[in-house]
Structure 1
Amino acid sequence: MKRIAAGIDRINTSVAHVVRWLALLMVLIQFVIVLGRYVFGVNSIAAQESVLYLHATLFMLGAGYTLLVDKHVRVDVFYSKASAQTQRRIDIFGHIFLLLPSMAALLYWSWPSVRNSWAILEGPISVGGIEAVFLMKSLIPLFCILVMLQSLSLLVGLISNPAEDKAHT
């Protein structure tokens, strides 16, 4: 099980190493858009939408890695003051009863929309935009799958190595 968990960690790390470059690309495209609009008086809806696509891709595909390195948003009311054993129990509960079911529900309820979008090769959000909304909608199930896999990987570490606590991440 630990080898499978390590493989999942490698998948999310590899995805993160690829999508991190989207942040730089997004900034560069936004700079070109602003320069084009305010200096040259040129505008492109497709260029503006490309920033949206890059932003969505960066955050949706980077979520599994964010979970791996424990940098996700956490509402910390009592967690930081809890003992390592209590933190471990909270993490296990959160993965099993909150994270995994919510990702499964999102995957289940979003799938018909993604499937329909692919069936019609859903076009641009705006006139003159990128004709690939079906690709952007595909990020939803990918997000769910990457986060669910990472959650399972973390659970393996939490359950199999109680003494190590968060050493898996």
Structure 2
Amino acid sequence: MSALVVIVRLISGLNRLIGAIFSWLALAIVVVCFAVVVQRYVFSTSFVWMQDLYVWLNGAMFTAVAGFALMRDDHVRVDVFYRNAPVRRKAMVDLFGVFVFLLPYCYVVAFYAWPFVARAWKYGEGSANYGGMPGLWVLKSFIIAFAALVALQGLAMAARSVLVLAGREAELPVSLRYTSGQE
């Protein structure tokens, strides 16, 4: 097994694991939101920290599973030319897109988020709402995790594209291969 295949498998495996774990937050979001509504309309009470909780869980889930979504091609793509393209053309488009758009985007996000996140950690930042949740610094850290996981998956996409262009796509597991368009 070549080094590129190992890279694709490891990074995709990491994002698959994180996706499987953090996708369960969707259930937690629904349960907490339901509890907030019941508290408000049945018991005429409300806890600000619970309102913060379901918003924060939502932010954590969507930033954590972004790499997983990219791995599964569940992200938004303008695929007028891509959907029915041959596998080699898809590989070229992905290779170009990773290095020209995706990795620079991840760098900009991480670069500009770093001081923001570091300041939140330094102050032990909590909710701006009175009675809200402490630990906003944890949620803000997911911005850096988002950039890292998406960038890693971008590198896996680039490695996969190189394997395809080298005629070695068969070395990849079926779940990580391109879906074929016109051949």
Question: Where does residue 103 of structure 1 map in the other structure?
Answer: 106
Aligned-pair distance for 1:39? 0.7
Q: Which of residues 19, 23, 29 in structure 1 aligns to 2:22?
A: 19
Question: Where does residue 70 of structure 2 map in the other structure?
Answer: 67
The size of the alignment, in residue pairs, is: 169
Residue 43 of structure 1 pairs with residue 73 of structure 2: no
Q: Which of residues 133, 137, 155 in structure 1 aligns to 2:140?
A: 137
Q: How does 1:112-123 map to 2 (within 5 A)?
A: 112-123=115-126
SS, match of residue 41 in structure 1: coil
Residue 34 of structure 1 pairs with residue 37 of structure 2: yes
Distance in 2, matches of 1:26 and 1:70, equals: 24
Distance in 2, matches of 1:93 and 1:5, equals: 17
Q: Which of residues 49, 55, 59 in structure 2 aligns to 1:56?
A: 59
Q: Which stretches in structure 1 are left out of the alignment for 5+ residues?
A: none
SS, match of residue 75 in structure 1: coil
Aligned-pair distance for 1:75? 1.7
Runs of 4+ deviating beyond 4 Å: none
Aligned-pair distance for 1:143? 0.4
RMSD after superposition: 1.6
Distance in 2, matches of 1:81 and 1:10, equals: 27
Aligned-pair distance for 1:85? 2.3
Question: Where does residue 158 of structure 2 map in the other structure?
Answer: 155
* Percent of aligned positions that are identical: 32
SS, match of residue 23 in structure 2: helix
Residue 78 of structure 1 pairs with residue 81 of structure 2: yes
Is residue 125–residue 133 contact of structure 1 (8 Å, CA) maintained in 2? Answer: no
Aligned-pair distance for 1:53? 0.9
* Equivalent position amino acid for 1:80 in 2: R
Aligned-pair distance for 1:160? 1.7
Q: What is the TM-score with the length of structure 1 in the denominator?
A: 0.94
Distance in 1, matches of 2:134 and 2:121, equals: 12
Distance in 2, matches of 1:109 and 1:25, equals: 30
Aligned-pair distance for 1:78? 2.3
Distance in 1, matches of 2:69 and 2:126, equals: 31
